[in-house]
């Protein structure tokens, strides 16, 4: 745990906040040889709303560059941020998905109902081959989420054989018949999704036994060792983590997942309170339909408030909820450490992000929401948390990539825009597979009467192969510029150059729109300089800043 202790965030209490005007940081050497795994910067694509259909996968007659029906402007944008992995086909949809429905000639694929997300038609035109073609274009690692809820061990075993076996077998013959001679050698396979809720409303003991059964039939083939990811806890369900670590054990899984969504709560405008599948116990959500009635599987979320129309009180509570991610990771990691002191098992936060009301006039079940400067601050703060827990967090997936929840990309017919969250991932790509540098941080508080004070500044740091030190800062205070002094003495570096970039905007509610798609974007920043071994940065209010030191 010494690396975590080295990264301790020292929060100045509210009573001292008025005396503390600047933030002070010490950046320390990497004594534990930790690396910020690039897979922390992963993404998620589900058969939900317009993520796949009318997102990645478009009508063949649409007048834009395409590879088959894969939209290439999206591919280019995601390659620019070096997307390391993509999780598919869900999500809740995964546990009703039968992979054979999505292979073979399109005319022979069944047309079904997507009962998870709005009872819309699923024509299965986007299946295994199409997904892996997309991953090849993106130059990214696929993550396959297998069906435990309505599937069988044999079905999952056959899928892995279809994906990864190169010898003679019925599944390889079928794969070749469908046009793919060579195996794809998929490395990451999830054994179910949200098995505590939409994936089957299971008890942890029951899921642990099922996992062991399914795992027993997921084979490792030559050149294709599978990293298995167990369906882990919902938010603070620490008992779920305890049972799975005890009953499955660290040798049967590569990763254990955690799902946590940030919800806007509070504010002066009244919020309509329904229930929220992501932040409740399985018992609270069991048996509700996507539209609030009885009898469905997926439940429907608390209507959290607008993605763009909110006051500072709502913003404050939203950031408080966002920063809870650090507590959740620490507590789940503490349990994992009991059974896995060598940290063999990765904590995989494979669903995270902000969940708001859908945009007015859109289908509630499609979860289409705009993306504001607030969302960029959530993304930067959360990624800093993941970086500072890179001893245990080695994979994560923002939900979801295109047109759903906290998307990087929004589309409208032929138009496409990059959201403020996209630009955060562009800034933070410097951390991919870089050496982690622990930090100690003292920060002024961001306070609001009636609420617990929040740390105004958060940060993480790494050193890349060229020796460049990259530090990402977030100032969540929407009103105050905060000066930062960062000591570099412990690194023993001779700094020759300082470069910086900033992402900020006039208001926390600002967005990129199809009429003004570059309203919020990254620009060069002149507010960083060095004096000997001291870095001085003036963080603008509500900003994400990258400083690179050579």
In a domain, 294, yes or no: no
Alpha-carbon span 197 to 233, nearest angstrom: 10
- Asked if the model's pLDDT at residue 302 lies above 70, the reply is no
Task: Let me know whether 476 and 398 are in one domain.
Answer: no
- Bridge partners of 347, per DSSP, are 256, 393
Share of the chain above pLDDT 70, in %: 89
Would you place residue 303 in the very low, low, confident or very high pLDDT band (cuts 50, 70, 90)? low
In a domain, 376, yes or no: yes
In a domain, 10, yes or no: yes
Task: Give the torsion through C-alpha atoms of 361, 512, 41, 165, to 10 deg.
Answer: 60
CATH number where 78 lies = 3.20.20.80
Q: How many domains does the chain have?
A: 2
pLDDT at 494: 85
- Asked if the model's pLDDT at residue 100 lies above 80, the reply is yes
- Asked if the model's pLDDT at residue 271 lies above 70, the reply is no
Among candidate residues 432, 458, 485, the one where a domain is terminated: 432
pLDDT at 388: 98
Which 8-state DSSP code applies to residue 126? S
**Which residues are CB-neighbours of 491 under 8 A, at least 6 positions away?**
27, 28, 29, 437, 469
> Contact, 61 vs 522, CB < 8 A?
no
pLDDT at 296: 37
For residue 351, indicate whether it is catalytic: yes
pLDDT at 284: 34
Higher pLDDT, 281 or 47: 47
pLDDT at 273: 27
pLDDT at 493: 86
Which listed residue (351, 414, 442, 518) is catalytic?
Answer: 351
Would you place residue 265 in the very low, low, confident or very high pLDDT band (cuts 50, 70, 90)? confident
In a domain, 384, yes or no: yes
- Asked if the model's pLDDT at residue 535 lies above 70, the reply is yes
Task: Let me know whether 130 and 260 are in one domain.
Answer: yes
- Bridge partners of 27, per DSSP, are 439
Among candidate residues 432, 452, 484, the one where a domain is terminated: 432
Alpha-carbon span 522 to 243, nearest angstrom: 44
Which 8-state DSSP code applies to residue 540? P
Task: Let me know whether 181 and 53 are in one domain.
Answer: yes
Which listed residue (141, 194, 280, 485) is catalytic?
Answer: 194
Which residue is it, tokens 């007048």?
63
> Contact, 461 vs 439, CB < 8 A?
yes
> Contact, 94 vs 193, CB < 8 A?
yes
pLDDT at 269: 32
Span 346-388, pLDDT tens digits: 999 999 999 999 999 999 999 999 999 999 999 999 999 999 9
Q: Largest Cα–Cα distance in the chain?
A: 72
Which of 144, 143, 141, 128 is CA-nearest to residue 78? 141
- Asked if the model's pLDDT at residue 125 lies above 60, the reply is yes
pLDDT at 21: 74
For residue 312, indicate whether it is catalytic: no
Among candidate residues 378, 400, 432, the one where a domain is terminated: 432
b vs e for 195-211, b when ≥16 Cβ sit within 10 Å of the residue's Cβ?
bbbbbbbbebeebbebb
Task: Let me know whether 415 and 462 are in one domain.
Answer: no
Task: Let me know whether 141 and 238 are in one domain.
Answer: yes
- Asked if the model's pLDDT at residue 301 lies above 60, the reply is no
- Asked if the model's pLDDT at residue 272 lies above 80, the reply is no
Task: Let me know whether 228 and 359 are in one domain.
Answer: yes
In a domain, 144, yes or no: yes
The sign one gets for the Cα dihedral 124, 129, 131, 137 is: negative
> Contact, 292 vs 272, CB < 8 A?
no
In a domain, 449, yes or no: yes
Domain hosting residue 495, numbered range: 1-36+434-550
What's this model's pTM, rounded to 2 decimal places? 0.91
Average pLDDT value for the chain = 90
Task: Let me know whether 57 and 163 are in one domain.
Answer: yes
Alpha-carbon span 217 to 495, nearest angstrom: 54
Alpha-carbon span 326 to 319, nearest angstrom: 12
Which 8-state DSSP code applies to residue 325? H
Span 464-516, pLDDT tens digits: 999 999 999 999 999 999 999 999 999 988 888 999 999 999 999 999 999 99
Task: Let me know whether 389 and 374 are in one domain.
Answer: yes
């Amino acid at each position: 745990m010494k690396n975590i202790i080295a990264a301790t965030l020292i929060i100045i209490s509210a009573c001292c906040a008025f005396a503390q005007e600047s933030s002070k940081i010490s950046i320390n050497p990497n004594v534990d040889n930790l690396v910020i795994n690039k897979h922390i910067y992963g993404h998620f694509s589900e058969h939900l709303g317009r993520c796949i259909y009318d997102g990645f996968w478009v009508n063949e007659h649409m007048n834009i560059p395409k590879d088959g029906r894969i939209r290439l402007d999206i591919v280019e944008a995601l390659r620019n941020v070096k997307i390391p992995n993509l999780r598919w086909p869900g999500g809740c949809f995964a546990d009703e998905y039968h992979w054979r429905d999505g292979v073979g000639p399109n005319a022979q694929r069944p047309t079904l109902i997507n009962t998870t997300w709005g009872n819309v038609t699923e024509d299965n035109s986007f299946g295994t081959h199409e997904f892996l073609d997309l991953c090849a274009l993106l130059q990214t690692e696929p993550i396959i989420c297998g069906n435990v809820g309505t599937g069988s061990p044999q079905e999952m075993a056959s899928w892995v054989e279809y994906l990864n076996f190169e010898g003679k077998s019925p599944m390889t013959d079928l794969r070749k018949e469908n046009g793919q001679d060579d195996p794809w050698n998929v490395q990451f396979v999830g054994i179910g999704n949200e098995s505590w809720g939409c994936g089957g409303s299971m008890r942890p003991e029951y899921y642990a036994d099922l996992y062991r059964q399914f795992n027993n039939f997921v084979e490792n083939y030559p050149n294709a060792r599978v990293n298995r990811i167990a369906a882990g806890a919902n938010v603070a369900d620490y008992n779920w983590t305890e049972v799975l670590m005890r009953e499955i054990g660290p040798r049967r899984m590569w990763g254990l997942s955690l799902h946590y969504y940030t919800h806007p709560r509070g504010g002066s405008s009244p919020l309509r309170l329904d229930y929220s599948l992501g932040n409740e116990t399985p018992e609270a959500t069991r048996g509700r339909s996507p539209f609030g009635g009885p009898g469905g599987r997926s439940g429907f979320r608390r209507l959290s408030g607008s993605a763009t129309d909110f006051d500072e009180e709502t913003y404050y509570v939203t950031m408080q909820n966002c920063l809870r991610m650090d507590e959740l990771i620490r507590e789940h990691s503490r349990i994992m450490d009991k059974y896995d002191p060598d940290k063999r098992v990765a904590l995989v936060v494979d669903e995270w992000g902000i969940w708001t009301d859908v945009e007015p006039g859109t289908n509630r079940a499609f979860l289409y929401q705009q993306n504001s400067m607030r969302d960029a601050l959530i993304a930067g703060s959360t990624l800093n948390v993941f970086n500072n827990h890179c001893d245990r967090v080695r994979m994560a997936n923002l939900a979801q990539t295109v047109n759903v929840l906290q998307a990087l990309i929004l589309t409208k017919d032929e138009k496409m825009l990059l959201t403020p969250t996209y630009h955060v991932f562009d800034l933070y790509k410097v951390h991919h597979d870089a050496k982690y540098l622990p930090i100690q941080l003292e920060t002024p508080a961001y306070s609001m009467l009636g609420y617990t004070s929040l740390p105004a500044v958060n940060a993480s740091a790494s050193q890349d192969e060229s020796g460049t030190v990259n530090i990402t800062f977030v100032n969540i205070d929407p009103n105050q510029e905060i000066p930062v002094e960062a000591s570099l003495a412990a690194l023993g570096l001779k700094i020759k150059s300082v470069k910086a970039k900033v992402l900020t905007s006039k208001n926390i509610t600002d967005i990129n729109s199809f009429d003004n798609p570059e309203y919020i974007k990254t620009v060069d920043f002149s507010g960083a300089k060095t004096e000997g071994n001291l870095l001085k940065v003036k963080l603008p209010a509500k900003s994400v800043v990258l400083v690179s030191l050579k």
